[in-house]
Amino acid sequence: MAAVDLTTHPGHLARRLQQAHYLLWNTMVSEEITSPQFAVLNALVAEPGLDQRTVGERVGLDRSTIAEVISRLGRRGLLDKVRDPQDGRRFLLRLTDDGLRTHRKLTVRTARMNQVFLAPLSAAEQSVFCELIQRVADAAEELRNPAEPPAEQRQAFTNSTHT
């Protein structure tokens, strides 16, 4: 049997992209704050006072992962949990002053890192690339919860993976 051409396998390419992103993140942005942690900080800058579940949805992290990310950011003193006055079982999240400073500092670094990451592409290609991977990522997240995507989308995805 002949070897397959992995350059035609999106998962293989996505893994390679993730490796490149991880390397650039650690060298250009932060060795202490991970990309998912930054995404949580960013979500709370955009919408202060979200609950943990909503933050997880906003940044595309599952329940167990978002719980761990929130816990680590809390231990670092970058965010606070406050009990929701409307629902005592729920906690709302807000960045501390240190969390806001950290976000501001990392935002500048992530902008530079993204320039380096996307440098092989023209400006127009960068826009198309980001749009396309956003569509694939959105579709993949919808498949995580089978009650959400329309049946025709699940069927199209299932058909495409079995051909």
Phi, psi of 109 (to 5 degrees): -70, -40
Cα–Cα nearest to 151, from 142, 161, 141: 142
Half-sphere exposure (Cβ direction) of 94: Cα atoms closer than 13 Å: 7
Do 76 and 137 reside in the same domain of the chain? no
Instruction: Give the pLDDT of residue 146.
Output: 60
Domain count, the chain: 2
Do 72 and 137 reside in the same domain of the chain? no
Do 65 and 140 reside in the same domain of the chain? no
**Number of other residues whose CB lies within 10 A of the CB of residue 69:** 23
Q: Is residue 156 part of a domain?
A: yes
Contact 35, 41 (CB under 8 A): no
pTM over 0.85, yes/no = no
Do 23 and 102 reside in the same domain of the chain? yes
Residue range of the domain that includes 72: 11-120
DSSP letter string over 6-64? GGG-HHHHHHHHHHHHHHHIIIII-SSS-HHHHHHHHHHHHSTT-BHHHHHHHHT--HH
Q: Is residue 51 part of a domain?
A: yes
Tens place of pLDDT for every residue, the chain, 163 residues?
999 999 999 999 999 999 999 999 999 999 999 999 999 999 999 999 999 999 999 999 999 999 999 999 999 999 999 998 988 889 999 999 999 999 999 999 999 999 999 999 999 999 999 999 999 988 888 877 666 545 555 556 555 555 4
Do 70 and 140 reside in the same domain of the chain? no
What are the Cα distances from residue 101, in Å, to 59, 70, 95, 98? 20, 17, 9, 5
User: What CATH number is given to the structural domain containing 100?
Assistant: 1.10.10.10
Q: Is residue 1 part of a domain?
A: no
Do 142 and 109 reside in the same domain of the chain? no
Do 41 and 106 reside in the same domain of the chain? yes
Do 135 and 116 reside in the same domain of the chain? no
Q: Work out whether strand 87-95 and strand 79-84 pair parallel, antiparallel, or are unpaired.
A: antiparallel
Q: Is residue 5 part of a domain?
A: no
Q: Is residue 34 part of a domain?
A: yes
Do 135 and 65 reside in the same domain of the chain? no
